[in-house]
Amino acid sequence: MDVKFPLDELMLVAPELVICALGLFLLLIEALLKERARSIIPILTLAGGASAILILLELAEVRADVFFGLYSLDSLGILLKGLFLLILILITIVSMRYLEREDILQGEYYPLLLFSTFGMMIMVSSKNLLTIFIGLELMSLAVYILCGMLRENLKAAEASLKYFLLGAFASAFMVYGIALLYGSTGSLDIREYSQFISKGNYSTIFILGVALLLVGFAFKIALVPFHMWTPDVYEGAPTSITAFMAAGVKSAAFVAFLRIFYTAFLPIVKDWGGILWLIAVITMSYANVTALVQDNVKRMLAYSSIAHAGYILVAFVTGEKLLSSSIIYYLFAYAFMNIGAFTCVILLGRRGEENLDIDSYAGLSGRHPFIALCLTIFLLSLTGVPPLAGFMGKFYVFSTAIKAGYVWLAVIGVLNSVVAAYYYLRVVMYMYFKEPVKEIGEIDLSSPYVLVSLICIFFLIYMGVFPRDLMLLAERAVSSLF
Amino acid sequence: MTDFPILSVIIFFPLLGSIVLLFIKRERADLIKTVALIFSIFEFILSLPLFFLFDETKKGMQFVEKYRWFPEWGISYFLGIDGISLLLILLTTFLTILCVLISWTDIKTKVKEYYISLLFLETAMVGTLCALDLVLFYIFWELMLVPMYLLIGVWGGPRRIYAAVKFFLYTMAGSVLMLLAIFALYYLFYKEKGVFTFNLLDLLGAHVPISLQYLLFAAFAISFAIKVPMFPFHTWLPDAHTEAPTAGSVILAGVLLKMGTYGFLRFAIPLFPKAAYDAIPIVSILAIIGIIYGAIVSMMQPDLKRLIAFSSVSHLGYVMLGMFAFNVQGVEGSIYQMLNHGISTGGLFLLVGMLYERRHTRMIADFGGLSSVMPLYATFFMIVTLSSIALPGTNGFVGEFLILLGAFKAKKIYGILGATGVILGAVYMLWMFQRVMFGTIKHEENKNLKDLCKREILIMCSIVFFIIFMGVYPKVFFKKMDTTVDEFLRFVKERNAYYQTMSAITVGRGEK
């Protein structure tokens, strides 16, 4: 068989190629650059991210299956690629000063960030299980290393190792699931599964494959009971990477999850929907109750991220096709809230001393009113106070649940958000109501941090007050699922 | 003039004020106070034309503004006021001026943040009163929480953190359930009419199945009952009132509690009339328990602010009792009582705040014989106290009289039980007054207390003016709400009758 590589189709994946090529290029030149000249690396990363976004905008209207159907360009993928590039840019800006402070090697950090973003972009734009898996592995492997970048820090080493071992297990589950699905249907293309199901002769093996796939995703998204790694990894990893994981990795995994389950397995939603219902309830309740007692703010945010995955799952469970756009909106809102909140966490730390305990936040409003105000806005958005994006996200998700008739799930969800209000407000309370109890030293409030905080606040308010644009985009995006 | 978006201007003018304050250096405390005062006075002046331009003969909403916001979902920026919200808006803008004035010397730390919160809160409150789109309403409703949380938590008393958190969680727990009920109503309407809308005036025409109506009414009612607060949801109030700074207590008593009763009038009752009618016994009994319980507990309070806080529970019980009488007297009295409570309880909190500023204690036992050292203060206190216990000639009398009249008309026993509260009210208020003002001075510190200064006299004069004016010539205010209340009662009765026949038909079918 004469297979000719479709060279002309490379043009359509130009954003991905830019990111990947830039990663390789940076790895190469890093060796040649002098110590002082290394500050060009983040600049190049930013330039790469920005140009990828520009190319993406050029390609925004292209819909095609390329590379023999292994890779697809559709509105869902393009919207999410935009989000990942935006996250990449924000994280790069945050990292500029942070890496210097913590003495993290720039030469490895940025290329890994780029590779990981490349992986995410692949994950969300394929309808082939194997391609999705490759994207997932590319993303994960890069993040495993990034978690351990604080080499002298024991917790970081622990985080990296733990994440790697458990992540490898999860990948094994997933790939085994894929193998079972392939074995029972003879195809890796998710579009063919629904036809296969509608014929009605799917076997136990097939169901087992679906279950294993579900476990793999539950791990990546950190749903209870597959969440054990999350608090430790989020705490140990460099804070910029924690933000990257919370915003990017989680979104990518969620969207791949959404695409596979909604495109392929929607006819048997009754089978997996019930399980996810239960997982959603346990995830929200467990994470929120556990977060109540955390005195470490980074850990608290880790549990909160688990809880938010639970809220998103509320919309997921319904199996309502068009309503799944609420998931996309929520992921966007969630990304900005988290990057903002973790930026504030970074600001409070110093070299070797992260000041993560809640006592460090006491009386912050008096000493650094700007940081306190920013963090308050992010926390209020996480709580779901209008008119911020977090509120609109919850609004959308819970209205979806009510519409689909999942009243109890919605009730449990909103009551959980009241529980969550307690621990988010606890930080606000420490910042505004208490007097400082300990000296946290000089705070380096330099422009990159301020810029990222302001960008995040802008998006949160804009998306909260004018939700329409993004919601319509999201609705268009999910229509490509079917 | 009709095209001028006056409601939007009134809503967002205080927000502009707080943005202006954001850019003033925090060292210039006097400038900050002055700017806040100017903004609050202008806000009041801006809201006055509403009163004069409001056409009391016209039914329905006035000064309507409607812009598309999210048309695909039926969310719109929809504002409008009727006779009920008109008076409450004026109360809000009026009380905010007093709050700025009373905080002049009271608030010494974080002055800038304080006035920013206060003005921001005013935006949220006025917005809540104007919103006619359920989403817009919910946004303003939740928005009120944050500045109030900060006001209590940052500038409050010793147990402020506990009180602030309790306040926030309690109210939020209620409102999230309401949000779900709003969704349910929204989809119900869509199924029935095929249109997505959060527009209140459209949703009023929805046919809500009766079993569902009970659930949705309960979700709305619990949310509002927490805010009112009705017995047994009142436990957050004494803490919040006691710990809040004076202005916080005034806003809380004067306006925030009214949001609960306003919510009943505007949303819960008209949207679910059958459920509301069926809930009359429950609500009335809880209201009466609130009246009597609040009064008895007040009697025993050693702390002045806590005493007034519990008296609020009692007064708001009247408001609910009158509202659920569902006749003109009851409802009008109930609305009037909302205003009265804002003026007289607000006045009492202001007075206690003045005393606290001088002596840094609010314990009744620490006072006694103040009338001889602070005669002016004692006089004002007396007038406000009398208004609070509804002496004829003061505003309180008009409201309570009408409410009891309405309650008697609806069901005698409610009226009789409610009336006992009047006696109890006189007991705790007069006893408190006697212990604080009369007798001999027992404490050395009280001998040199200064009487009111000019600023304080100005504040109290404006309160007393309204107490007497509203007591002697209530017609000015009733005129504004007559049509609205008639329309409200007609609508609710009609809808209730409609649901009655509907259920009769279904029952009839069932029997066949």
pLDDT tens, position by position, B336-356 = 999 999 899 999 999 998 888
User: Helices (H), strands (E): how many in chain B?
Assistant: 23, 2
Average pLDDT (B203-217) is: 86
- Confidence band (pLDDT; 50, 70, 90) for B510? low
Residue B36 tokens read as: 């806040």
Q: Does the beta carbon of A436 lie under 8 angstroms from any beta carbon of chain B?
A: no
CA atoms of A40 and A47, how far apart (whole Å)? 10
Which of chain A's residues have a Cβ under 8 Å away from the Cβ of B183? Answer: 398-399, 402-403, 410
Confirm if A281 and A412 have CB atoms less than 8 A apart: yes
Which residue in A380, A398, A422 is closest to B180 by CB distance? A398
CA atoms of A338 and A247, how far apart (whole Å)? 6
pLDDT at A196: 83
Q: Please give the interface size between A and B, counted as residue pairs whose CB atoms are below 8 Å apart.
A: 78
Q: Does the beta carbon of A28 lie under 8 angstroms from any beta carbon of chain B?
A: no
- Rounded to the nearest angstrom, the minimum Cα separation between B155 and chain A is 8
pLDDT at A1: 57
* Dihedrals phi, psi of B76, to nearest 5 degrees: -135, 160
Mean pLDDT of chain B, nearest integer: 87
| Four-point Cα dihedral A337, A126, A216, A335, nearest 10 | 0
Q: Measure the N-to-C terminal CA separation of chain B; round to a whole number of Å.
A: 60
Confirm if A240 and A94 have CB atoms less than 8 A apart: yes
Q: In sequence order, what E strands does A149-280 have?
A: none
> Which ipTM value was assigned to this complex?
0.88
**Residue B151 pLDDT > 70:** yes
Which of chain B's residues have a Cβ under 8 Å away from the Cβ of A403? Answer: 183, 187
Which of chain B's residues have a Cβ under 8 Å away from the Cβ of A389? Answer: none
pLDDT at A353: 78
CA atoms of A258 and A245, how far apart (whole Å)? 18
Residue B354 tokens read as: 């003045």
pLDDT at A250: 92
Which of A468, A472, A479 would you mutate first to test chain B, the one with the most B CBs within 10 A? A468
- Confidence band (pLDDT; 50, 70, 90) for B1? very low
pLDDT at B446: 79
Which of chain A's residues have a Cβ under 8 Å away from the Cβ of B70? Answer: 467-468, 471
pLDDT at A136: 93
Q: Does the beta carbon of A416 lie under 8 angstroms from any beta carbon of chain B?
A: no
Which of chain B's residues have a Cβ under 8 Å away from the Cβ of A463? Answer: none
Whether A432 and B154 lie within 8 Å, measured CB to CB: yes
Whether A421 and B169 lie within 8 Å, measured CB to CB: yes
CA atoms of B256 and B118, how far apart (whole Å)? 13
- Rounded to the nearest angstrom, the minimum Cα separation between A295 and chain B is 17
DSSP at B135: H
Whether B160 and A402 lie within 8 Å, measured CB to CB: no
Which of A418, A461, A476 would you mutate first to test chain B, the one with the most B CBs within 10 A? A418
Helices (H), A72-187: 75-102, 106-124, 129-147, 154-185
- Confidence band (pLDDT; 50, 70, 90) for B508? low
Q: Does the beta carbon of A393 lie under 8 angstroms from any beta carbon of chain B?
A: no
Enclosing H/E stretch for B67: strand B62-70
Q: Does the beta carbon of A465 lie under 8 angstroms from any beta carbon of chain B?
A: no
- Rounded to the nearest angstrom, the minimum Cα separation between B20 and chain A is 16
Closest CA to B321 of B417, B256, B234, B394: B417
**Residue B386 pLDDT > 70:** yes
- Rounded to the nearest angstrom, the minimum Cα separation between A220 and chain B is 30
Q: Which long-range contacts (CB under 8 A, 24 or more apart) does A387-390 make?
A: A387/A461, A387/A464, A387/A465, A387/B139, A387/B143, A388/A460, A388/A461, A388/A464, A389/A332, A389/A333, A389/A336, A389/A337, A389/A459, A389/A460, A389/A461, A389/A462, A389/A463, A389/A464, A389/A467, A390/A333, A390/A334, A390/A337, A390/A460, A390/A464
Q: Which range among B64-68, B101-105, B222-226 has the greatest average pLDDT?
A: B222-226
- Rounded to the nearest angstrom, the minimum Cα separation between B256 and chain A is 18
In one letter, which amino acid is A4? K
- Rounded to the nearest angstrom, the minimum Cα separation between A385 and chain B is 7
Per residue of chain A (482 residues), what is the pLDDT tens digit?
567 777 788 888 889 999 999 999 998 888 888 777 778 888 999 999 999 999 999 888 888 888 888 888 888 899 999 999 999 999 999 998 888 888 887 788 999 999 999 999 999 998 899 999 999 999 999 999 999 888 888 888 888 999 999 999 999 999 999 999 998 888 888 888 888 888 877 788 888 999 999 999 999 888 988 888 999 999 989 999 999 999 999 999 999 999 888 888 888 877 788 888 999 999 999 999 999 899 899 999 999 999 999 999 988 888 877 778 889 999 999 999 999 999 999 988 887 777 888 888 888 888 888 899 999 999 999 998 888 999 999 988 888 888 888 888 999 999 999 999 999 989 998 888 888 887 777 777 888 899 999 999 999 999 988 888 888 888 888 887 76
**Residue B417 pLDDT > 80:** yes
Which residue in B69, B142, B173 is closest to A385 by CB distance? B142
**Residue B512 pLDDT > 70:** no
**Residue B2 pLDDT > 60:** no
Residue B41, Cβ density class (10 Å: 0-12 exposed, 13-18 middle, ≥19 buried): middle
pLDDT at B509: 62
